[in-house]
Amino acid sequence: MVDKALAFLLGLFLFSACFRGGNVPSVVTAATVIAALVFLVVAWLTVAHTAPTPVRAPTLLIVGALLLISAVGALGWLRFDAVTWLGFPGRAYYRDVVQTLSEPPFSRGAFALSMDPQGTGYSIMVAISCVAVAVGTSRISARLLRLLLGAFCTLVIFEAVLGLLQLALGSPSFLAFGEAVGVQRAAGTFVNKNHYATLLAMALPLLIMRASGRLHFGASEQSSTVRDVWWGLATALVVVALVSSVSRAGASAGALAATLAIFACRVGATASRARIASALLALLVIAVVLPTGLSMMLKSIDGDALTQSAEGRAALNRLTYAAAKEFFPVGAGLGSYSIAFQRFQNAQLPGYVEHAHNDYLQLLFELGGSGLIVLALLIVATVITARTCYRAWRASGQLASFAFACLSGVVAFSFHAWFDFPAHIPALAWVVTMLAVASTRPDMQPINLADQSTVSRRRRKRSPSGPSDDASPTSATA
- For 44-100, write each residue's pLDDT tens digit: 888 877 555 677 899 999 999 999 999 999 999 999 999 999 999 999 999 999 999
Cα separation, 354 vs 250, whole angstroms: 20
pLDDT (0 to 100) of residue 285: 58
Sign of torsion over alpha carbons 325, 327, 331, 337: negative
Q: 202 lies in a domain?
A: yes
Same domain for 187 and 221, yes or no, is yes
Q: How high is the pLDDT of residue 458?
A: 43
CB neighbour burial string for 98-131, b if at least 16 within 10 angstroms, e if fewer: beeebeeeeeeeebbbbbbbebbbbbbbbbbbbb
Same domain? 395 vs 411: yes
User: Is the distance from CB of 144 to CB of 41 less than 8 angstroms?
Assistant: no
Same-domain check for residues 127 and 172:
yes
Is the domain of 134 the same as that of 265?
yes
In a domain, 317, yes or no: no
> How many domains does the structure of the chain reveal?
3
The answer to whether residues 30 and 134 belong to one domain is yes
Pair 274, 212: CB distance under 8 Å: yes
Residues 200, 198: Cα–Cα separation, whole Å: 5
| Same domain assignment for residues 229 and 107 | no
**Which of 94, 112, 130 is a domain's end point?**
112
Judgement on whether residues 387 and 472 belong to the same structural domain of the protein:
no
Contact 30, 414 (CB under 8 A): no
Q: How far apart are CA 349 and CA 130, in angstroms?
A: 32
Same domain, 246 and 108: no
Do 103 and 216 share a domain, yes or no? no
70 and 106 inside one domain? no
Q: Is residue 340 part of a domain?
A: no
In the chain (478 residues long), the average pLDDT of successive 10-residue segments reads: 91 94 94 96 81 79 97 96 94 92 88 94 97 95 94 96 83 59 72 92 94 81 74 88 88 90 78 58 56 55 59 87 95 94 84 89 96 97 96 90 96 95 95 97 81 47 44 35
259 vs 109, 253, 330, 411, CA distance in Å? Answer: 57, 10, 40, 11
Residue 7 belongs to some domain of the structure: yes
For residue 352, is it within any domain?
no
Domain boundary among 112, 136, 171: 112
Phi, psi (5° rounding) for residue 258? Answer: -65, -40
Q: Looking at the structure, do residues 193 and 181 belong to the same domain, yes or no?
A: yes
- What secondary structure does DSSP assign to 361-421, as a single string? HHHHHHHTHHHHHHHHHHHHHHHHHHHHHHHHHHHHS---SHHHHHHHHHHHHHHHTTTS-
180 domain-assigned: yes
Residue 338 within any structural domain of the chain: no
Phi, psi at 129, each rounded to 5°: -65, -35
> Closest by alpha carbon to 35, among 140, 119, 97, 128?
128
Both 106 and 132 in a single domain? no
**Backbone phi and psi for residue 112, each to the nearest 5 degrees, phi listed first:** -70, 145
Residue 396: inside a domain: yes
Given a contact cutoff of 8 angstroms between Cβ atoms, the answer to whether 255 and 282 are in contact is no
Domain of 460 in residue numbering reads as 448-478
Could you say which of 60, 88, 112 is where a domain stops?
Answer: 112
